Chain A
């Protein structure tokens, strides 16, 4: 029998399938969401169960400014992707750089908070259950911000070399999906750590 084509009838088939980059990224986001869920459950389960201090009430301050930084980076990356789609590579570059700056500012915020907690409050990951769950949950999120920033910086470098064109908009969209996810996770982490857990 014919080894290849299984063409059955000469008719036009209307054929649309989703874009694989988006599907892959949504699947990855599903997996990451499951990982974060377990860490969030562990955090909530251990709230108030530490045998020794310091407690969240004693040492945590709400990082309002850096939260605003991270959340507004979602807006800038959205506008960046949009301007690339419209063909404006220049404003894409500016907005993309702003996104990186806002993400880096957030990381600086986390770093300075950790520095204060470790050197002034004496809270480390092995001090008590609060320390263990706090550093691992916030750290896991911070790690995802770092990974996102590496990805964004690679695109930025390519943009500076003039290699990003408007037909790359779909790929940039995929990366921005990840960045939106990182921001959305922060909303959950923020609520759990600074609102419910305090």
Chain B
């Protein structure tokens, strides 16, 4: 590598005791280390949340199964939902954003490194608090040991009277604490993007990854804060005898739904915008073409950000809000399909005529494109209020949002893992294992979630712990559960690939993909200071300019 990188003597690095090295990880304020901490933390919780999903599916594999009790089943779906949203997808996305944003904008760290560490540890302790309920929640006789109120915790089920013991309190506090972490990270990302860009990198020259995460950070600020407020109200109700959601004293259960979904729907876009961000970086590189319609992509992202703030009550069509309110939310929900559709066409146009390389990151992104489209189409179906009156709270809805989160977000995340693994670890992953992971997970995903739509259409409600035979649901549920084992096998191959490649993989060069953004201009893994000299950029693809001085991009932008 380059001579102007400061290298520490190898003996100095290797000889330090493990305690000293662990201590460095605990006290670090380096955005790359915190990013990796976020990612590892999320992978641990992915395993936990995945095991919970397996328990749910094994219980439903046949009618009248008694693998777990109804009480345990309730805890499993509550913990599964809460864990996957708050302690898997959000942290892993923050991890990638943390790691990559400063590198992509040519900065040496985030704007507030100590706030960054604080935010990570808040998120981490939030997750521990949620799982501490398993030992700490038995407050009273008959009280459960883990939250069992569902991940959206509708009132009045969360009132003291109906949720004895402390399990619901651990749920509230875990989310509240991790919410502070999320808000801190969002503030940090906004300040980093606006204030830390290297010379020449105007807003219109930032990589799309940075743009999408920037909009995501804005959404976190506007979406997680209402949840924080609602959780404080719930605490006031549970501990101080307040009446916010107490229907006996004139309070309203419906207003909790509003407050929760004012968070809950933008949250979907908080999760999916970073997925778009990965795809917007990976597809151009493996199609050997610049992204199609950069400025339209940015515009569509901002439009999604705005519209997503006004669609929340489509989660509440079955509540009975009246025709006018329903109509507004039907139309706004359908409208959000327009900017999303623009994005899908732009990615397709980027691939069109390109020299596509079917490396593992790319195949995950191609699967993402089609699966996310299908997820969006069932979303448009559900956005029609009369359709939801039939299928609200059924397995059709469960299949729809898992199609978004697994088929869309998780697939693009796997793509991101493989794409940036060489940068983060300095090692190449195994392409064979990567493809095996893809096919196992792809088959498992489609077995599970394609077929899950059907019992929903046949009237199977979500969150039931068992069902009667002979309703036409049996075979579908069996297929759905079989798919889960394929997915679990895929995840094991994925983790095995990460571990094997980290210890045994061959070394990766600084720029293994011949890519164009600044993170590939430094070593793999990057030194603590990222860039020896702060880069200057003139176009959206600074490395292209460097590699092709005769034909630089800035002549055409």
Residues of A bordering B, CB below 8 Å: 1-9, 13, 15, 17-20, 23-24, 27-28, 30-32, 34-39, 42, 45-46, 49-51, 125-126, 128-129, 132-133, 136, 140
Q: Are A35 and B225 neighbours in the complex by a CB distance under 8 Å?
A: yes
- Total residue contacts A-B, CB cutoff 8 A: 162
Q: Are B521 and A4 neighbours in the complex by a CB distance under 8 Å?
A: yes
* B233 located at the interface, meaning its Cβ lies under 8 Å from any Cβ of chain A in the complex: yes
Q: Are B542 and A5 neighbours in the complex by a CB distance under 8 Å?
A: no
The segment from B56-64, B235-243, B276-284, B493-501 found at the interface with A is B235-243
* B228 located at the interface, meaning its Cβ lies under 8 Å from any Cβ of chain A in the complex: yes
Q: A23-B194, A31-B221 are in contact. Are A125 and B111 (CB under 8 A)?
A: no
Q: Are B533 and A4 neighbours in the complex by a CB distance under 8 Å?
A: yes
A151 to chain B: closest CB distance in Å? Answer: 15
Please measure, in the bound complex, the distance between the C-alpha atom of A28 and the C-alpha atom of B237, giving whole angstroms.
26
Please measure, in the bound complex, the distance between the C-alpha atom of A161 and the C-alpha atom of B200, giving whole angstroms.
42
* B187 located at the interface, meaning its Cβ lies under 8 Å from any Cβ of chain A in the complex: yes
Q: Which residue of B lies closest to A23 (CB)?
A: B191
Q: Which bracket fits the contact residues of B?
A: 35 or more
Q: A4-B2, A4-B5, A7-B535 are in contact. Are A126 and B552 (CB under 8 A)?
A: no
Q: Are A8 and B538 neighbours in the complex by a CB distance under 8 Å?
A: yes
Please measure, in the bound complex, the distance between the C-alpha atom of A37 and the C-alpha atom of B225, giving whole angstroms.
10
Q: A15-B199, A27-B186, A50-B250 are in contact. Are A4 and B229 (CB under 8 A)?
A: no
Q: Are A8 and B542 neighbours in the complex by a CB distance under 8 Å?
A: yes
Q: Are B183 and A31 neighbours in the complex by a CB distance under 8 Å?
A: yes
- What are 26 A-B contacts with C-beta separation under 8 Å? A4-B532, A6-B518, A6-B521, A6-B535, A6-B537, A6-B542, A7-B535, A8-B536, A8-B537, A17-B197, A23-B191, A23-B195, A24-B187, A27-B187, A30-B222, A31-B186, A34-B221, A34-B226, A38-B225, A39-B229, A42-B259, A46-B250, A126-B240, A126-B241, A129-B243, A132-B242
Q: A8-B552, A45-B255 are in contact. Are A3 and B187 (CB under 8 A)?
A: no
A10 to chain B: closest CB distance in Å? Answer: 10
Q: Which residue of B lies closest to A5 (CB)?
A: B533
Q: Are A129 and B233 neighbours in the complex by a CB distance under 8 Å?
A: no
B194 to chain A: closest CB distance in Å? Answer: 5
Please measure, in the bound complex, the distance between the C-alpha atom of A5 and the C-alpha atom of B259, giving whole angstroms.
48
Q: Are A20 and B242 neighbours in the complex by a CB distance under 8 Å?
A: no
Residue of A3, A23, A128 with most partner-chain B CB within 10 A: A3
Residues of A within 8 Å of B187, CB to CB, are: 24, 27-28, 31
Please measure, in the bound complex, the distance between the C-alpha atom of A36 and the C-alpha atom of B536, giving whole angstroms.
42
Give the 9 A-B residue pairs with the shortest CB-CB distance, closest first. A126-B241, A3-B2, A34-B225, A38-B229, A4-B532, A6-B535, A20-B195, A132-B242, A27-B187
Q: A3-B5, A31-B183, A129-B249 are in contact. Are A8 and B229 (CB under 8 A)?
A: no
B188 to chain A: closest CB distance in Å? Answer: 7
Give per-residue flags for B179-208: 1 if the beta carbon is below 8 A from chain A beta carbons, else 0: 000010011101110111101100000000
Residues of B bordering A, CB below 8 Å: 1-2, 4-5, 106, 111-112, 115, 183, 186-188, 190-192, 194-197, 199-200, 221-222, 224-226, 228-230, 232-233, 236-237, 240-244, 249-252, 255, 259, 262, 510-511, 518, 521-523, 531-533, 535-538, 542-543, 545-547, 552, 554
Q: Are A20 and B537 neighbours in the complex by a CB distance under 8 Å?
A: no
Q: Which residue of A lies closest to B3 (CB)?
A: A3
Please measure, in the bound complex, the distance between the C-alpha atom of A141 and the C-alpha atom of B229, giving whole angstroms.
13
Please measure, in the bound complex, the distance between the C-alpha atom of A27 and the C-alpha atom of B112, giving whole angstroms.
13
Please measure, in the bound complex, the distance between the C-alpha atom of A8 and the C-alpha atom of B544, giving whole angstroms.
11
Q: A4-B521, A4-B533, A9-B538 are in contact. Are A27 and B221 (CB under 8 A)?
A: yes
Please measure, in the bound complex, the distance between the C-alpha atom of A7 and the C-alpha atom of B546, giving whole angstroms.
8
A170 to chain B: closest CB distance in Å? Answer: 13
Q: Are B249 and A51 neighbours in the complex by a CB distance under 8 Å?
A: yes
B8 to chain A: closest CB distance in Å? Answer: 16
Residues of B within 8 Å of A126, CB to CB, are: 240-243
Please measure, in the bound complex, the distance between the C-alpha atom of A118 and the C-alpha atom of B232, giving whole angstroms.
22
Q: A35-B225, A46-B250 are in contact. Are A125 and B537 (CB under 8 A)?
A: no
Q: Are A129 and B251 neighbours in the complex by a CB distance under 8 Å?
A: yes
Q: A3-B522, A4-B4, A49-B250 are in contact. Are A13 and B194 (CB under 8 A)?
A: no
Q: Which residue of B lies closest to A24 (CB)?
A: B191
Please measure, in the bound complex, the distance between the C-alpha atom of A125 and the C-alpha atom of B552, giving whole angstroms.
66
Q: Are A42 and B242 neighbours in the complex by a CB distance under 8 Å?
A: no
Q: Are A1 and B511 neighbours in the complex by a CB distance under 8 Å?
A: yes
Q: Are A20 and B112 neighbours in the complex by a CB distance under 8 Å?
A: yes
Please measure, in the bound complex, the distance between the C-alpha atom of A132 and the C-alpha atom of B330, giving whole angstroms.
34
Please measure, in the bound complex, the distance between the C-alpha atom of A140 and the C-alpha atom of B106, giving whole angstroms.
40
Please measure, in the bound complex, the distance between the C-alpha atom of A133 and the C-alpha atom of B255, giving whole angstroms.
13
A136 to chain B: closest CB distance in Å? Answer: 6
Please measure, in the bound complex, the distance between the C-alpha atom of A4 and the C-alpha atom of B199, giving whole angstroms.
15
Residues of B within 8 Å of A1, CB to CB, are: 510-511, 521, 546-547
